[in-house]
Structure 1
Amino acid sequence: MKYRYLGKSGLQVSELALGSWLTYGKSVGDSTAEACIDTAYEHGINFFDTANAYEAGEAERVLGKSLKKYDRSSLVVATKVFFPMGEGVNERGLSRKHIIEQCDKSLQRLGMDYVDLYQCHRPDPNVPLEETMRALDDLVTQGKVLYTGVSEFQHQELAQAQSINQALNLHPLISNQPIYNMIERYIEKDVIDKGWQEGIGQVVFSPLAQGVLTGKYKADAAPPEDSRAANDETNVVLNSYFDPRVLKVVKRLKKLAESEGYTTAQLALAWILRKKEVASAIIGASRPSQITENIKAVDIELSSDILTEVETILLPIRDFHPMR
C-alpha cells in the first residue's frame, strides 16, 4: 500500500480507503463485512469511511465492532453528519446542535473515544457557515475529532469555509469528499485545484461508478445476479449509468485494460490516483476478493500514452450527466 498526506495536514491515509455506503449494515452480513475490513487492513488500508446516516447508524456499528481488534493508532476512521437521523426538526443539517449531538452518537456506535476525520456530509444552505465551522472546531478542541472535512462542497464553499476558519483562528478543513470517476468529472473544472490552494485534499467516492467501471455490466445482457444493479432497482444513479454510450465506452476501456494486463477496475482506480490532489479513493466491497484485486491499482503507473488513449475513449461521454 502507498500513503498520501491528506490536504496540507500531517495526516497520512492509504491511497485506497474502504467505505461502507450501500454495503455494511445493509446488503452485506456482519461476518462478511468483518472479513472485508480485515482483508483491507491486512493489505495496508488504514483509512475507513462511514457516516451516521448509512443504514441509520448500522454501518458505524459494524465498522466499529470489526475494527476493535486493531491498535487504534493504526487506524484513520472517518464519519459524517448532515442527513436526517430522526423525525425532529433539529435531527438533520449542520446546526451546532445537530453536529455536537450526532458526533457523540457516532462515537457511541463506533465504540471509540474520537474519530480521526469528521465531515459535513453535504452543504447546508439553511445554517450560517460560521456556526458550522465553530461547532467543528469545538469538537477538535474537545478531543472528540482530530481533523475536519466536508463532502460535495463546491470550490466557492471550500474557499468561504477556509476564510472563516482563518479569520477566526479555527482549525482548518483538510478534506472534501466528492464523487469522481471516469464518467463524472465535474471536480476537474475547479474543485480539485481550488481545494488544493485552500489546503484541502480530495477523498473521492464512487470511483468505480457503483460497479459500472468494473466492466461487469453488458449492454446486451441482464446484470449479474449478485450485482448491485440486480438487487437495487430503485438506484436512480446506477440505472442512469446504463446508457448505451457509457456501456460502449466501458467496453473499450476493458479492452484497453486487458491489453495492459489490468482489470477495468484497476485501470479506473489508477486513473484517479494520477492526481496528486486526490489523497484517497474510497472503494466498496461485498467480498474480500474484490479488495485483493482492486488494491493492485496503487502499483500501476499509467504512461502518458495510456492516459491519452483513455481520454480519447472517454470523449463520447465527456458531457454525460447521470440522474440524481
Structure 2
Amino acid sequence: MVHLREFGRTGVKVSPLTLGAMNFGARGNPDHEDGVRIIHGALDAGINVVDTADAYSQGESEEIVGKALSDGRRDDVFLATKFHGRLGDDPNHQGNSRRWIFKAVEGSLRRLNTDHIDLYQAHRPDPSADFEETLGALTDLVHQGKIRYFGTSVHPAGQLVQGQWTAERRGLLRPSSEQIPYSLLVRSNERDVLPLAQKYGLGVLAYGPLAAGWLSGKYRAGGAQPKSFREDLIPGRYDISAPRNADKLTAADALARLAEESGLSLIQLAVAFSLNHPGVSSVIIGPRTAEHLDTYLKALEVRLSTDILDRIDEIVPPGHVFHQRDNGAVPPAVADPSLRRRAGTSREGRAS
C-alpha cells in the first residue's frame, strides 16, 4: 500500500512517486499503446499523479496521457501539465503571456481529453511577461473551472517570494507548487527553494532523481562511455572523458559504491534520497519501459539510515551542484549578456 503525502497546503493527497510523461512520444517512446500500458501500470501500483507538458513531443505526450485516462480513471488522477515551451512556428505560441496561456490551456484540455487540469504549471520563467499578468491569467482560469491549482517550475527563489507577495497584494490566487530538479548530484535547491517551499506551504514535485542518467549505474570511473539517447540530444554533457565532467563522474562512482555496500541499486539509493527531504511532496519518475517503472517502484521500499545520509553528504555536500545547467535552466541574467552590461558598451572600448 502506498502511503500518500500532503501536497503543500492544498489538502490534496499525492503518491510519493509521480509518473512523468516526458518520455512518451517521439522524443522517447513513440509507441502510444506501450505508453498507455506503462501509465496504467503506474496507476495500478498506487501512483496517483501524472505530470506532462504541452511541449513534450509537441503535444504527443499529452495525447498519450489522454488516451490512458479515457478508460474511466481520470477522476482518480491528480493531472498536471505545463505551458511555456514553443509549439509550432508562431513566435507567440510560447511563453507566459495571458494571450498564450488562454490558448495553450485549450490545447492541453483537448489533447488530455478532459474538462479540467488539476495542476497547471509555468514550465519556465518568462522575463518578457509581467509575472503579475501571468498570475492574473492563471487565477482567471481557476475561476473559470478549467484548472484547479497552478504552480511554477524551475523558478528562482526570489520569484517564488514575488509570486506569494504579488498574489496577496493584488488579490490574486497564489501559486500552490514548484517543480525542481533534485538529486544526489543536483542539490542546489536545498539552499533556498526547498526551505521557501516549506515556509510558504508549496507542494514540491522533484524531477530528475537520476540526474539525467548519471545515477543510472552506468557511469563508473574507469568504465566505458555509456550509450544514451540523451548523449545525442546534448553532446558533451555526458562525455566521461571531458575534464568538466570529472568531478561528477567521481561522485557518481562513489555513490554507486555506497549503494552496493548498502545492498541497494544506485537507482534505489537515488530515488530514496530525493524522497527523504521533508520539503519534497512527490518525486517525478520518467520510465520509457515497463521494466524502468518496476525498477523505480522498488525504491519505495527503501528507508535510508542517518549513517548513509551522512556518507552521501560527504560525497556531495548539501547545496552542491556540479554545473549551472544541471539546475534545469540558466537564469536569464546569466544567459543573456544584455542583462548584465550597460547599454552602449563597445567591444572595442579601452579600459581607462
TM-score (norm 1): 0.92
User: Which residue of 1 is the match for residue 163 of structure 2?
Assistant: 161
User: Which residue of 2 is the match for residue 287 of structure 1?
Assistant: 289
Deviation, 1:322, is 5.4
User: Which residue of 2 is the match for residue 46 of structure 1?
Assistant: 48
Percent identity between the two aligned chains: 36
Cα offsets for 1:224-280 (capped at 9, x unmatched): 4xx434xx4232584267723222322222222122222111111111111111111
Deviation, 1:21, is 1.8
Moved more, 103-112 or 268-277: 268-277
2: distance between equivalents of 1:86 and 1:119? 20
User: Which residue of 2 is the match for residue 221 of structure 1?
Assistant: 224
Matches within 5 A, 1:55-74: 55-74=57-76
1:240–1:4 Cα change, 3 Å: farther
Flag the structure with more relative contact order, 1 or 2, with Cα contacts below 8 A and sequence separation at least 6. Answer: 1
User: SS where residue 48 of structure 1 aligns?
Assistant: strand
Residue 159 of structure 1 contacts residue 195 of structure 1 at CA under 8 Å; is this kept in 2?
no
How many residues are paired up? 320
User: Which residue of 2 is the match for residue 152 of structure 1?
Assistant: 154
2: distance between equivalents of 1:192 and 1:32? 35
User: Which residue of 2 is the match for residue 264 of structure 1?
Assistant: 266
Q: Which amino acid aligns with 1:207?
A: P
User: Which residue of 2 is the match for residue 138 of structure 1?
Assistant: 140
Q: Which amino acid aligns with 1:117?
A: L
User: SS where residue 238 of structure 2 aligns?
Assistant: helix
1: distance between equivalents of 2:109 and 2:181? 26
Residue 39 of structure 1 contacts residue 292 of structure 1 at CA under 8 Å; is this kept in 2?
no
1:33–1:315 Cα change, 3 Å: same
1:235 paired with 2:234, answer yes
Q: Which runs of 5+ in 2 are unaligned?
A: 331-352
Residue 22 of structure 2 contacts residue 28 of structure 2 at CA under 8 Å; is this kept in 1?
no
Matches within 5 A, 1:50-199: 50-199=52-201
User: SS where residue 315 of structure 2 aligns?
Assistant: helix
1:70–1:221 Cα change, 3 Å: farther
Cα offsets for 1:274-305 (capped at 9, x unmatched): 11111111111111122112112223221111
Deviation, 1:79, is 0.5
2: distance between equivalents of 1:67 and 1:245? 43
Residue 190 of structure 2 contacts residue 319 of structure 2 at CA under 8 Å; is this kept in 1?
no
1:118–1:166 Cα change, 3 Å: same
1:12 paired with 2:13, answer yes
1:316–1:155 Cα change, 3 Å: closer
User: SS where residue 150 of structure 1 aligns?
Assistant: strand
User: SS where residue 118 of structure 2 aligns?
Assistant: strand
Alpha-carbon RMSD across the aligned residues, in angstroms, is 2.1
Residue 46 of structure 1 contacts residue 76 of structure 1 at CA under 8 Å; is this kept in 2?
yes
